[in-house]
Structure 1
Amino acid sequence: MITKRNIFLIGPMGAGKSTIGRLLTQELNMEFYDSDQELENRTGVDISWIFDIEGELGFRIREEKIIDELTRMSSIVLATGGGSIISKDIRNFLSSRGIVIYLQASVQKQLMRTKKDSYRPLLKTGDDMSVVLQRLAFQREELYKSITDLTFNTDNKNVKSIVYNIIKMLKTI
């Protein structure tokens, strides 16, 4: 039954969406997609380049098109970008086309997981990373919650146990 529905992973950068998504797809025999990776594959450039040339608005327009297309597929696990939920259309795509799982992570854990990652343009502003992550959490928390079917905190938990608990909860809905 689980494999007949889409699963969409939302949450802040560094919450483990891609890592958890990949293992989840192995366990459920589903296809895995990462919206950021799909965008890079299709444009031939990385996310940072898109931000530099088109700005965040240009990136968000592209992201919305990719997520619309991906969420129309069947039996997939999709890891979304942390800020994708800013778009009301994306929130509608996700909530109407699958099970939305919110992966929470504290700012401290996000810092640990992203500190050496040059891939994340919103962390390259020159501002203190902790301040940026706190601001993003404040701006996005209610948006994540507004479309969430299941929530899992990823702080201090290993990926296998999170995936096990996700599968266990999916069987109940």
Structure 2
Amino acid sequence: MASRPDDTRVTNGGLDRSIVLVGMMGVGKSTIGRLLAGKLNLEFVDSDEEIEKAAGMPISEIFERFGEPGFRDGERRVIGRLIAEGPKVIATGGGAFINDETRGLIKEKCRSVWIDADLDVLVDRVSRRNHRPLLVGKDPRQVLTELSEKRTPFYQEADIHVRSDSGPHARTVNQILEALA
């Protein structure tokens, strides 16, 4: 039986730095990150999960207790620790790359990949689950439009830019692998 192209594993090619995925909520950073890490034979980590472990509470509670600035400070420290641990694939929260210090650290020590998607794709994806603090009690389309306008100039500073659509995430992973080669 012939193997399918999306089942192929590649070595990490001697990557000496982490690959950090940035982009809007709902773009697929975590799912794409897991697939990409498997292809590159690297560890995958989701910075939001690591923040929750470090804080001992869910992100929604961190936002409630410390506000967005307190969350962003903890996020920066956790991402710094993850980067210092050595090469891996890191999926970041949608606002991580907006923070000047976090962005500077990622740009200096990692390969950054902006995963971009059309607004309709994002709205569809984020509407499936109700766990995002910035969307609670708000219209997802309006919030995503406003966030995109603010964040896109920062995302454009990433080393690599790929588009995700409503198709399989493996297609986006392949785009990233081609750009890394």
TM-score (normalised: structure 1):
0.93
Q: Does residue 154 in structure 1 map to residue 151 in structure 2?
A: no
Match of 2:123 among 111, 124, 129: 111
Structure 1 residue runs of 4 or more that deviate by more than 3 Å after TM superposition:
none
List runs of 5+ in structure 2 lacking aligned partners: 1-12
- CA deviation profile, 1:64-89 (whole Å, cap 9, x unmatched): 11111112222210001000122100
Q: How many aligned positions are there?
A: 169
Q: What's the CA shift string for 1:16-60, capped at 9, x where partnerless?
A: 100000011111110111110001112221110111111111111
Residue matched to 1:131: 142
Unaligned runs of 5+ in 1: none
1:75 aligned residue: 87
Q: Distance in 1 between matches of 2:20 and 2:85?
A: 12
Larger displacement relative to structure 2 (41-50 or 12-21): 41-50
In the alignment, the residues of structure 2 paired with residue 162 and residue 2 of structure 1 have an alpha-carbon distance, to the nearest angstrom, of 22
Of residues 1, 22, 25 in structure 1, which corresponds to 2:34?
A: 22
In the alignment, the residues of structure 1 paired with residue 140 and residue 172 of structure 2 have an alpha-carbon distance, to the nearest angstrom, of 26
Whole-Å separation in 2 of the counterparts to 1:62 and 1:110:
26
Within 2, Cα distance between the matches of 1:157 and 1:111? Answer: 15
Q: Computing the radius of gyration over CA atoms, which structure comes out larger, 1 or 2?
A: 2
2: CA distance, partners of 1:151 / 1:86: 16
TM-score, length basis structure 2: 0.89
Q: Is 1:166 aligned with 2:176?
A: yes
Q: Which residue of 1 aligns with 2:96?
A: 84
- What percentage of aligned pairs have identical amino acids? 37
- For residues 45 and 145 of structure 1, what CA distance do their matches in structure 2 show? 32
State the shift of 1:154 in Å: 0.5
- RMSD value over aligned CA atoms? 1.2
